[in-house]
């Protein structure tokens, strides 16, 4: 990745993630319900629209630069939610950092595992797939108990 691509990506990602982190309190209110959040001063429709737009912009920016990387955005936040709880003030920054760390590790493995470089999406799928299945199974068991 050259400097101009990195600058473009940072110019998109940093303000959007910063805005999402500043909205963490409102996201916490939404976990109880839209009516309850509205009664406490949040604007559920505005918050949902902002969340959808921010998620779309972040996904588009990262996918445009890296290509499809599969399970990173799915597995990391759900695994962290099990460990940290559902407080978005902790969960959002931790998801950003752990997602980046997970992808860096997968990229390093993809570059060094074989003599030829394999796509990082293969490694994320091989690691993320079983983790995602385990998360689904544990969640299903907890729902039935």
Please write the tens of the pLDDT for every residue from 131-141.
878 877 776 55
Task: Work out the angle at residue 33's Cα, subtended by the Cα atoms of residues 31 and 34, and round it to the nearest 5 degrees.
Answer: 115
pLDDT of 143 strictly over 50? no
Structure tokens at 90: 């902790």
Separation of alpha carbons 120 and 65, rounded Å: 13
| Neighbour-count burial of 114, counting CB atoms closer than 10 A to its CB (0-12 exposed, 13-18 middle, 19+ buried) | exposed
Write the DSSP string, 50-106. HHHHHHHHHHHHHHHHH---TTHHHHHHHHHHHHH-S-HHHHHHHHHHHHHHHHHHH
Q: What pLDDT digit, counting tens, does each position of 51-61 carry?
A: 899 988 988 88
pTM above 0.85, yes or no: no
Domain ranges of the chain: 1-67, 69-145
Q: What pLDDT digit, counting tens, does each position of 70-125 carry?
A: 667 778 888 898 889 889 999 999 998 998 899 889 889 888 988 888 888 888 88
Q: What is the mean pLDDT of residues 2-18?
A: 89
Separation of alpha carbons 18 and 3, rounded Å: 22
């Amino acid at each position: 990745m050259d400097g101009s691509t990195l600058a473009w990506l940072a110019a998109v990602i940093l303000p959007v993630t910063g805005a999402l982190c500043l909205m963490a309190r409102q996201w916490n209110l939404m976990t109880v319900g839209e009516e309850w959040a509205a009664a406490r001063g949040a604007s559920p429709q505005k918050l949902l629209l902002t969340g959808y737009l921010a998620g779309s912009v972040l996904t588009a920016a990262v996918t445009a630069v890296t290509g499809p990387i599969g399970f990173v955005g799915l597995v990391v936040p759900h695994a962290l939610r099990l460990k940290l709880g559902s407080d978005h003030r902790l969960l959002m920054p931790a998801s950003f950092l752990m997602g980046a760390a997970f992808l860096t590790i997968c990229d390093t493995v993809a570059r060094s595992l074989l003599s030829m470089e394999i796509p990082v999406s293969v490694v994320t799928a091989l690691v993320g797939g079983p983790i995602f299945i385990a998360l689904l199974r544990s969640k299903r068991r907890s729902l039935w108990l």
